[in-house]
A and B are shown apart, each in its own frame.
Chain A
Amino acid sequence: MFQLKRRLPVLVAALSAASVFGTASAQDPQTYKIGAILAMSGQASFYGTVMSQGIKQAVDEINAKGGVNGIKLEAVIEDHKSGNAQEAVSAMNRLITINKVKIVMTSFSAPTQAVAPLADQHHIFLLNGGGVSNSLVGVSKYMFHNRSLAADLGLAAVAHLKSTGAKKLAMLQWKNDAGDSVVRATRPYWEKAGGSVVAIEAVPQGVTNMDTQIAKIRAANPDAIALWMFTPEVGLAVKRIRDFGMKQPIIGVEYTQNDAKIAGAQGEGYLFINDYFQPSDDQPWSKQFATDYEKRYGTKPDFYAANYYEGVYLIAELLKRAKAKGGDYMDAEVMKAALYDDPKFDSVYGGQMVFQPNGVAQKRVGLFKVEGGEKKFQSFVKPD
């Protein structure tokens, strides 16, 4: 009995310590698995390639520095086959049930919308760096975006056109949620500002021939043409518009390396409003990322690679902040609370991105112009 009394404080201390460490180890996984549902096959697999390359580079860099809280990151990449919502749901189910993933990076509007209810149900933190439709806002209480929405970029684009004195506007759009969302936002804005929309022509995503649409736009004789579409159709549209002998200004919301290759010399003068990703000497992280990416993959990164690269860093930082809050810190509720405690995160674009209450990060957005085959920064713009 005496011996027990003497040893009791030691025993209690030991049990307490075991309890504390036991809880901590129970919360920490062997690796932090980051799921990603991307377009790894199908017509838009270009996106999946560059996005997954950005993710892998960030994971390797962070792991080379010892991981997060001493735990390594692991990317689990799934395929939504270029926008197939059903495939995305199957992929999400695999990530949740088989891989026990608590964080998922998404891309494309339809697949992201499709997995949102599962995220709510299983408390999965979602980060979208590619989908651009307005309908993604609020689709899940755990949904965040480090990509500017297309409608915001489109509004900035037409505001620029307005300042040039253009009156008659033609729109060439993707016939999907992303394209429709920009038309819905920009058409009333343009008409309210006194302009007229003389043509709205639509092509399906993945189209290889848009001559009919461009012939109709040419017949409408607009002052300017707006492209509410994404790679590789942007490059194709710019090329074909110029092939048709049209000299009007063309503005859009994207222009990737792939588009530049397709448009070739016909891309000269094309204007676009986009997330500002411009590696330069005064942006050391941006420069380092671009240099390493090019060394690793043999091609320059575009902003899609940058978004998913910085997305992994954002998640790593968020894991640290959430862990400091304690408890089941990988639960999306805890991660969400940690994000809004301090919604500022470093951006590979330079400076910081700030998450707004709607879950969309405010990042630097710029007006670019294609000059000499290269995109040249013109000015920063503030989307409405």
Chain B
Amino acid sequence: MDLLAQLVVNGLVNGSHYALLALGFGLIFGTTRVVHFAYGPVYALSAYGSWLAASMGAPLWLSGVAGVATGAIAGVLAYLVVYRPFEKRGSTSLVVLIASLGLFILLENAIGVVFGTDTKVVPSPPGGIFLWGPLVVTGVQLAQVAALAIVATAVGVYLTRTRMGKAVLAMTDNAEMARIIGIDTVRVSVIAFALGSAIAAVPATLILVKDGATAHMGFLAVFMAFVAVVVGGVGSLRGAVIGGLALGLIESTGMVRIPTEWQSSVAFVVLFIVLLFRPRGLFGGR
């Protein structure tokens, strides 16, 4: 019972991490329909932005801001330099997907070449470890859960209460109709890439603090984000968050009886089951 309780806590923490990743990825994918696999290395680049600032003596909060700025700039550049030219030529989504994979490899290798292949770490912040009976949770883990609550709420408010947010939602709903009614879809796409990548920078910075950053940390991140978005339903940000949380919880609590060597297969199993019985995801539209 103690183990199950601990696994639920771990699942909530990991799920919060996946949910944030899915929120950023889902916002970009849902709005622009670009399967932005380079989201992975952009996430990694954000962690390196935070690390660079921290290694130059910036306090942790300022390093986090630097990471968010790095992510947003990298995301916008990815759209304007790589995806937008294909969009203008009316390229198929398959071509854009291949461009995205190319950008993934390019960015990932560039990070390794520029920053080296060793793990980048920052000094552990105060906050320590909390013991609640048999349960253990660290300050960074609590921050991961809190980050989801804060960022998801802020994004929700932005999308529903601001003019630009509503434009993003309109484009997510129907890009063609949004264009017809006069929404500047290029501008909205830029906003989606900036916001989505900035969201990814939050879990990236927290992982840097928790475990350190590597050039290749983006692969698993984009994969889990993709699975969470598909499970939650493409176009539904609420679905992306719930998909991420569900994935984290299943991946963790599912191991209470199953040997942990199977853990990395859980995401695939969940993906297959959802695609089989609910191809549009848990909250996907018709």
Q: Using a CB–CB distance below 8 Å, which chain A residues touch chain B?
A: 41-43, 45-46, 48-49, 175, 201-204, 206-209, 211-213, 215-216, 218-219, 232, 235-236, 239-240, 243-245, 257-258, 261-262, 264-265
Contact = CB atoms under 8 A, between A and B. Distances in A.
Given A261-B118, A261-B121, A264-B121, A43 B6 contact: no
Contacts of A204: 264
B136 to A, nearest CB: 5
B244 to A, nearest CB: 14
Nearest to A173: B261
Contact of B6 (A202, A203, A218, A258): A218
A321 B276 CA distance: 65
Contact of A202 (B14, B211, B251, B259): B259
B255 A216 contact: yes
B129 interface: yes
A215 B211 contact: no
B245 to A, nearest CB: 15
Contacts of A211: 10, 13-14, 252
A208 B207 contact: yes
B216 A215 contact: no
B265 to A, nearest CB: 10
Interface string B48-90: 0000000000000000000000000000000000000000000
**The 7 residue pairs across chains A and B that have the minimum distance between CB atoms:** A202-B261, A219-B3, A45-B117, A43-B216, A46-B117, A211-B10, A215-B6
A245 B252 contact: no
Contacts of B252: 211-212
Contact of A41 (B109, B116, B207, B264): B109
Interface residues of B, number: 37
Given A204-B264, A219-B3, A49 B259 contact: no
Interface in B214-238: 214-217, 219-220
Interface in B1-33: 2-3, 6-7, 10, 13-14
A43 B260 contact: no
Nearest to B1: A219
B119 A235 contact: yes
A262 B121 contact: yes
Contact of B119 (A49, A175, A240, A261): A261
B269 interface: no
Interface string B112-135: 100011110101100001010000
Contacts of A43: 214, 216, 219
B260 A243 contact: no
B276 to A, nearest CB: 25
A59 B123 CA distance: 38
Given A212-B7, A219-B6, A245 B131 contact: yes
Given A201-B260, A236-B211, A245-B129, A262 B119 contact: yes
Contact of A261 (B117, B212, B216, B259): B212
Contact of B129 (A45, A201, A243, A261): A243
B260 A203 contact: yes
A208 B6 contact: no
A215 B112 contact: no
Contact of A208 (B112, B215, B217): B217
B138 A243 contact: yes
9 contacts: A201-B259, A208-B220, A211-B14, A215-B7, A219-B2, A232-B212, A243-B138, A244-B136, A245-B131
A212 B136 contact: no
A379 B3 CA distance: 38
B69 to A, nearest CB: 24
B121 A42 contact: no
A193 B260 CA distance: 26
Interface string B231-275: 000000000000000000001100100011101100000000000
